[in-house]
Amino acid sequence: IDKGMPQYLSSRIDLIRCFGNIAVHQKVLVSGQIVQVEVDEAKLCLDTLRELLEHYYVRPAATALALAKVSAK
């Protein structure tokens, strides 16, 4: 995990990894059955993805834009 990543995001990613591992291994143990995803698990995944995109792409782009506007003066 990226050392520049906020702790709360790396903790969320680790949690997703943990319940992801459980789901994968259940699929192996319960052949032919689909493991259900809980609403809270799906929400956590989507929220984490949104926050990762915000941290790595949106905020740096907004900062670069603000700096460019100040530098243009």
Distance set, CA 25 to CA 4, 18, 28, 34, 73 (Å): 31, 11, 5, 12, 58
Average pLDDT, the chain: 83
Q: Do 55 and 9 form a contact (C-beta atoms < 8 A)?
A: yes
Residue 18 — pLDDT band, cuts 50, 70, 90? confident
Answer whether residue 51 shows pLDDT above 70. Answer: yes
Mean pLDDT of 59-71: 95
* Three-class DSSP labels, the chain: CCCCCCHHHHHHHHHHHHHHHHHHHHHHHCCCCCCCCCHHHHHHHHHHHHHHHHHHHHHHHHHHHHHHHHHCC
Say what the pTM is: 0.72
